[in-house]
Structure 1
């Protein structure tokens, strides 16, 4: 029965994630898992609880990747079978589970036979240990941050304001802390305490939201023209640059008589490097006729290396700069740990890419912009480094056409909520099939397009030069979480 309850913990946690069911589950979803692992008598029991919880949580959170790997990609690219995609998904879940084993390892130190501990010690230890597990998920070639507890709070606009100080990992610590307060409380007035905790959470959230400044969208704002091209992957991956240019030209025409400061197209506007081609010459003429800066995505080839790049053109059609994606997607865009995963290149999309070296920013109309590409939005360090490098506005371009599920689309889009609050920068995502939208520096979604429709629109955003505390201290805070977990485990 106890293992079933741990499984329920994992499922409830996954159901709390953006696009799934109810975010408020996150405030009590870990209770069974925490209670069971703390009460376990043997190493193997604690290990089994950790495996059951992490696997069920990840599967429930990332279920939308299964049809992507086992159906969508093989049907379009025809480079592997559906059964290979299924086992690829299973392998991905196993790899993502590995960082959670730090909870088990630390708990082995903590629950040694001669250990004396009390209620608050348990609460703080598991809060630190779980947070460390999430931090570890951001390290190495297999880094992927989907499923972090904090992301369930995307709609808790008041509470997430603290992310500008302690980041999304700090929010995870608070979530585990609340769950642990409930899990390890054996007092008679436990029900009253639980009600008091939930009441405090939601009153605080409501009160903070009420005192946030109103959403600022005026003629003094930067006006970003966004293009959601909505080209299905089966068409995109069978098209040629001429067809891609036709889509570009048609959509840029939409802004000729509209007041915009910059126009943004998605990642993979073109599927090949069109630089120094006749297609680029035609595209440049369109930009010159519009006489506005344009940002778009297409691969770049340089010195025999392929890069997944965002190209920034000024109103004259000249290249203002190129950002090469730094945080590549494992297996799809590069092969991690080749000596181990040498036979896993079947999941490659078109080409393996070389990672970029710098988190560049671009100056357009006296506004410094940081451009991110696709799943880079899952990594706080990308937005933080761009803010430190002068970006006062963040724009992400993406091609999420692989995901037919709105859950997958929204989990990706909701990352912008946290990157906006952490850096106090307005954030825009422009995607091929969606979701395309804007988020202000307080994490409020100010505009969003429906997925799976071709649409253009104008988003009002406001640059901000102030560097948040979390942007300055994020690395130090990670170290402090590690130190806290280790000290609580061994002392």
Structure 2
């Protein structure tokens, strides 16, 4: 790595101390996210790992990164074992997979020691490039609890995402840790001063941004949080009781005259077939004078065809995870079917190509993907775009919804699978980023919480907490008043980091030490 001005420096000598340092990083990162929310720790969290790898060969750095990444997953995603049929070996595989990203990062930085590459620039550039890969790795995509998500309550720095997306925030966080590590290990202070100046400027600019008022037409929305248990969903009587609870909670908001009432993901079942249930919701929407957007599980039978002769050989039951917009005026808007499904929870990737063993994939879910976005009208000429569940994690997906002219994003979710853990709060942290990136209101209707209304600057203006509490929230949303650079141009910053990494890699011979 590049040399520079020096003061006193320190690096760990023993492998034991290096191991302790690499384990300090997952400890700090876990504290940065919900439930702890000590977001300031994220800015120094990677420093111990970088110090542990300082001066080490590629293999040792890779191993330390793998250990740190595995333990980070174990700390942040400790709730994963709440999921049915998730076993220790699933956790081991997931942890090793997610650990590969920091492992490759550490290995690449170690490899670059022999070149005059600026360390504090290489570290965040490579991390952002790997983050982009992790978010776009087909069925292996898992953009959960990114470094940027840790800053969901740090509103000044979040405003940077209107230009760069969450990648820009991640870049700054890694920059801070890298500059601190370089100052400690190499005695270089110039990088630390430069990084601190950039980060302070971004925070100052963001602090000015959030002083602006939100312009635009306003309407009132109501969110219903019914706390439907998994046991209720499984039997007819339970579904009847949960529907009565949805109705009762909806009646409670009628006097507030909302322009929209939102029910959570899979709140009802088979609306496309159950005419009686659909008409009951239609009557309810007519009574309160507002449309109801509800999540629905859709089950149906589809023909199975023999591929060579295209001959029907039987039928199989498949499922949609859908959202219905019911107006009460007899006009049926088309349902939205979830596009981005959760691998192994809603579908089996490469099914028919790979023969997954039963111990690894004990259940064979078969939720069909949607193939088109939907847009629904709201009062005062506003338009809403629906999301379902973890689609909020994918910035490009939400950006397309906003680019189609939607003023408000409505996310339907059901996180009761995770119990009273940090998972629902971590899930919602990504929604804060999506709201700020696109300068839109984002409404979260969660079955068991936390249901929230998030404004375009990232403020949570209404919320139902704690988890597993029945209730309603009523709040205002406004029309989109401007379009951000991120909404117009997308993830250019992340792509710039990737191009820098590729270009730098191709020109490495020119950067060799001593050349």
- Structure 2 length normalisation: TM-score? 0.84
Aligned counterparts of 2:21 and 2:363: Cα–Cα separation in 1:
35
1:347 to partner: Cα distance: 5.0
**Structure 2 equivalent of residue 248 of structure 1:** 246
Say if 1:289 and 1:404 are closer, same or farther in 2 by CA, change over 3 A. same
Partner-residue secondary structure (3-state), 2:231:
helix
Structure 1 contact 6–33 (Cα < 8 Å) conserved: yes
Question: For 2:369, which of 355, 364, 367 is the aligned residue?
Answer: 355
Q: Deviations over 1:417-447 (max 9, x none)?
A: 1000111111110101101011110111111
8 Å CA contact retained: 2:462, 2:474: no
Give the corresponding residue for 1:124.
121
Q: Tell me if 1:323 matches 2:331.
A: no
Q: CA deviation at 1:103?
A: 2.0
Q: 1:395 aligns with which of 396, 410, 434?
A: 410
Give the match for residue 23 of structure 2: 7
Q: Structure 1: where are the runs of 5+ without partners?
A: 74-79
Secondary structure, aligned partner of 1:248: helix
Deviations 1:404-428 (A, max 9, x none): 2341121111211100011111111
Q: Distance in 2 between matches of 1:30 and 1:251?
A: 46
The whole-number CA distance in structure 2 between the counterparts of 1:360 and 1:105 is: 44
Alignment-derived partner of residue 134 in structure 1: 131
Q: What residue is the counterpart of 2:400 in the other structure?
A: 385
1:35 matched to 2:44: no
Matched residue, 1:77 = none
| Change beyond 3 A, Cα 1:162–1:214 | closer
| Preserved contact between residue 287 and residue 317 of structure 1 (Cα < 8 Å) | no
Q: Is the 8 A contact 1:403 1:409 kept in 2?
A: yes
In structure 2, runs of 5+ residues without a counterpart are 1-16, 303-317, 509-515
Identify the residue that residue 94 of structure 2 maps to in structure 1. 92
State the secondary structure of the residue aligned to 1:275.
Answer: coil
Aligned equivalents of 1:302, 1:235: Cα separation in 2 = 20
Structure 2: distance between partners of 1:448 and 1:100? 35
Q: CA RMSD in A?
A: 2.8
Q: Determine if the alignment matches structure 1 residue 234 to structure 2 residue 250.
A: no
Q: Aligned to 2:497, which of 458, 466, 481? A: 481
1:213 is aligned to: 211
In 1: Cα distance, 2:254 partner to 2:37 partner = 41
In structure 1, C-alpha distance between the alignment counterparts of 2:493 and 2:190, rounded to whole Å = 33
Task: Tell me which moved more, 95-104 or 172-181.
Answer: 95-104
Superposition deviation, residue 90 in structure 1: 2.5
What's the secondary structure of 1:470's corresponding residue? helix
SS at match of 1:381: helix
Bigger mean CA deviation after superposition, 86-95 or 299-308 = 299-308
Q: Name the CA distance, whole Å, in 2 between partners of 1:196 and 1:162.
A: 18
Tell me, yes or no, if structure 1 residue 447 matches structure 2 residue 447. no
SS in 2 for 1:334: coil
1 CA distance for matches of 2:46 and 2:346? 34
Deviation at 1:273, TM superposition (A): 4.5
The SS at the match of 1:181 is helix
In 2: Cα distance, 1:377 partner to 1:37 partner? 34
Measure, in 1, the Cα distance between the counterparts of 2:418 and 2:456.
Answer: 27
Structure 1 position 239, deviation (Å): 4.6
Q: CA deviation at 1:107?
A: 3.8
Where 1:452 maps in the other structure, the secondary structure is coil
- Counterpart CA distance in 1 for 2:201 and 2:95 is 37
Does structure 1 retain, via aligned residues, the 8 Å contact 2:299–2:319?
A: yes
* Larger displacement relative to structure 2 (199-208 or 414-423): 199-208
Q: Which whole-Å CA distance do the structure 1 matches of 2:200 and 2:363 have between them?
A: 43
Verify the 8 A CA contact 1:360 1:370 in the aligned structure 2.
yes
How many residue pairs were aligned? 469
* Cα distance change, pair 186–176 in 1 and its aligned pair in 2 (3 A): same
The aligned counterpart of 1:405 is 420
Q: Which residue of structure 1 aligns with residue 315 of structure 2?
A: none
SS in 2 for 1:457: strand
Distance 1:217 1:431, change over 3 A: farther
Does the 8 A contact of 1:6 with 1:49 survive in 2? yes
Aligned 8 A contact 1:18 1:154 in 2: no
Instruction: Give the deviation of 1:378 after TM superposition.
Output: 1.1
Give the direction of change, closer, same or farther, for the CA distance of 1:245–1:195 in structure 2 (3 Å limit).
Answer: same
Alignment map for 1:14-413 (pairs within 5 Å): 14-41=30-57, 43-66=58-81, 68-69=82-83, 73=84, 80=85, 85-104=87-106, 106-107=108-109, 110-111=112-113, 115-117=114-116, 121-139=118-136, 140-185=138-183, 201=199, 205=203, 208-209=206-207, 212-213=210-211, 221-240=218-237, 241-273=239-271, 275-301=273-299, 304=302, 305-338=318-351, 339=354, 341=356, 343=358, 344-346=360-362, 351-365=365-379, 366-413=381-428
- Which residue number corresponds to residue 76 of structure 1? none
